[in-house]
């Protein structure tokens, strides 16, 4: 996957951000403090936020100046932080929303539902599920639509350490199994280190660092899973804390 952003201007929190960067690889992360423009960037790429500039995915133009492909035609899966499951539909109908023609018994559907451990929950209303189950449904729903790229906004936010580890492992497994590249937003350096080959650090809408997680975040990629370690310190945050002390 190669996502190129060139002079992409998006209104965000009262200021205009301008992104110029190229993200490559099967798994990429956007990292930075709250308000850095990570979610804004995902929404612009997905076509959910007005913007100007150039966006190209694997050489295909999604946006040129102020003209962009409609959201539905971009082939980009998006799992927002609040998951946005359709509360009036059961799990099966949520999963099939992006692939209405696909039979419930079809290989794609059952393969994804099985991989996500959702087969026993297909008839359950989406709102009756636990947080972890809802996350799996949201992931499955996005995958079943057959996206060329998956955008995940803080996929492990508000989960305890055990669930975070499960979801992270699941993401890794799904991405490899179904060959769908993803870009995730995360505040968790260890999670990024575990899952991604590339990370872009954003600050106030600007990319201040881009590279391998071990380089950019200063972490050892061979380290134990993040849930077994103390939370990693962000270099910028460390410097700020040092200055405060």
Partner 1 sequence: MDAETIRVLWFTVASALAGVALAAPFALGLAWLLARHEWPLKSVVETLAALPLVIPPVATGLILLKLLGRRGPLGGLAHSLWGMDLAFNWKAVPLAMAAMAMPLLVRGFRVSLEGVNPRLEQVARTLGAGEARVLLSVTLPLAWPGLLAALVLGLARSLGEFGATVILAGNIPGQTTTISLALYRAIELGHDQEALFFLAVCLALAFGTLALSEHLARLMVRRELP
**Shorter beta-carbon distance to partner 1: residue 57 or 145:** 145
**98 lies in the site for partner 1, by CB under 8 A:** yes
CA 9 to chain CA centroid, nearest Å: 20
Candidate list 7, 24, 82, 114; residue touching partner 1; CB under 8 A: 82
**104 lies in the site for partner 1, by CB under 8 A:** no
Least gap, CB of 172 to partner 1 (angstroms): 22
**134 lies in the site for partner 1, by CB under 8 A:** yes
For partner 1, the binding residues in 29-48 under the rule CB under 8 A are 46-48
Which residue(s) pair with 6 in the sheet? 54
**149 lies in the site for partner 1, by CB under 8 A:** no
Stretch that binds partner 1, among 18-26, 78-86, 197-205, 232-240 (CB under 8 A): 78-86
Q: Contacts with partner 1: how many residues (CB under 8 A)?
A: 26
**136 lies in the site for partner 1, by CB under 8 A:** no
**14 lies in the site for partner 1, by CB under 8 A:** no
Give the tokens for residue 86. Answer: 């359709």
Candidate list 32, 37, 68, 77; residue touching partner 1; CB under 8 A: 77
Least gap, CB of 1 to partner 1 (angstroms): 17
**63 lies in the site for partner 1, by CB under 8 A:** no
Give the tokens for residue 114. Answer: 């099985």
Write out the residues near partner 1 by the rule CB under 8 A.
46-48, 70-72, 74, 76-78, 80, 82-88, 97-98, 126-127, 134, 141-142, 145
């Amino acid at each position: 996957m190669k996502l190129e952003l060139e002079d992409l201007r998006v209104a965000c929190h009262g200021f205009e951000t301008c992104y110029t960067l190229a993200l490559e690889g099967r798994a990429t992360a956007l990292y930075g403090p709250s308000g850095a423009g990570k979610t804004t960037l995902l929404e612009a790429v997905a076509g959910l936020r007005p913007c100007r500039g150039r966006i190209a995915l694997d050489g295909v133009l999604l946006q040129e100046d102020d003209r962009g492909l409609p959201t539905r035609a971009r082939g980009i899966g998006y799992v927002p932080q609040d998951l946005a499951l359709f509360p009036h539909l059961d799990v099966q109908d949520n999963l099939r929303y992006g692939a209405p023609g696909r039979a419930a018994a079809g290989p794609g559907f059952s393969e994804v539902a099985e991989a996500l451990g959702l087969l026993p929950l297909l008839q359950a209303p989406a709102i009756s599920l636990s947080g972890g189950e809802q996350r799996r449904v949201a992931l499955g729903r996005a995958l079943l639509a057959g996206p060329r790229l998956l955008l995940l906004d803080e996929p492990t936010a508000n989960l305890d350490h055990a669930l975070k580890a499960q979801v992270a492992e699941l993401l890794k497994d799904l991405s490899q199994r179904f060959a769908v590249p993803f870009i995730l937003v995360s505040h968790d350096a260890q999670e990024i280190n575990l899952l991604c080959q590339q990370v872009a650090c954003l600050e106030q809408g600007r990319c201040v660092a881009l590279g391998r997680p071990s380089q950019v975040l200063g972490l050892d990629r061979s380290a134990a899973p993040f849930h077994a370690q103390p939370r990693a310190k962000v270099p910028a945050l460390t410097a700020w804390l040092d200055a405060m002390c």
